[in-house]
Amino acid sequence: MSAAAQRNPKLARALARYSLIGENAAVWLAIGTAGLAISRSPGRREAWADGLDATLCAFALNVAIKHVVRRPRPPAAGAAPLTPLLTQMSFPSTHATTSFAAAGVFARALPPATPLFYALAGTLAVSRPALGVHYPSDVLAGAALGSAIAKLWPR
């Protein structure tokens, strides 16, 4: 856990609650589903659907890599993690992978929201080492993987 979170339990709890929206790519699936539901243009609907597909692909690829690498999470220094953990595997960060894949492809569906998508992706990714459940390299690798998926995803 970050030094700031250790000194401020309220900050730590808020950060943990915020990080939960990224669990299993939930926030990205909600954004994509909402975009798909309200879009009238077939091209924009297709872009939202592509973003949902890319997010699910990123999730699956991330889980596969975690099972190959099997890097354990950082030691908890005698305290329970501040956020629920689905596995004890750390590399790469699923929050970062799905967030950067989704942000990159959803930006095609709604270009004016690109800065907001990337702000959400970045803060979700950074929340993980701040909570002490990932090494910074887990997040960097996840962000790179997610960005590569978005870049390579067919248009």
Q: So what's the pLDDT on residue 79? A: 52
What pLDDT does 81 receive?
A: 58
Which pLDDT belongs to residue 101? 98
User: Is 113:107 a contact under the CB 8 Å cutoff?
Assistant: yes
Give the CATH architecture of domain 3-152: Up-down Bundle (1.20)
Read off the pTM.
Answer: 0.89
Q: What is the pLDDT along the chain (155 residues), one digit of tens a residue?
A: 555 556 677 888 888 899 999 999 999 999 999 999 999 999 999 999 999 999 999 999 999 999 999 898 888 654 555 565 666 788 999 999 999 999 999 999 999 999 999 999 999 999 988 888 889 999 999 999 999 999 999 88
Task: Return contacts of 47-52, CB within 8 angstroms, 24+ apart.
Answer: 47/105, 47/106, 47/108, 47/109, 48/106, 48/109, 50/105, 50/108, 50/109, 50/153, 50/154, 50/155, 51/102, 51/105, 51/106, 51/108, 51/109
Q: What is the DSSP string of 109-153?
A: H-GGGHHHHHHHHHHHHHHHHHTTSS-HHHHHHHHHHHHHHHHHS
Q: What is the pLDDT of residue 109?
A: 94
Domain extents for the chain? 3-152
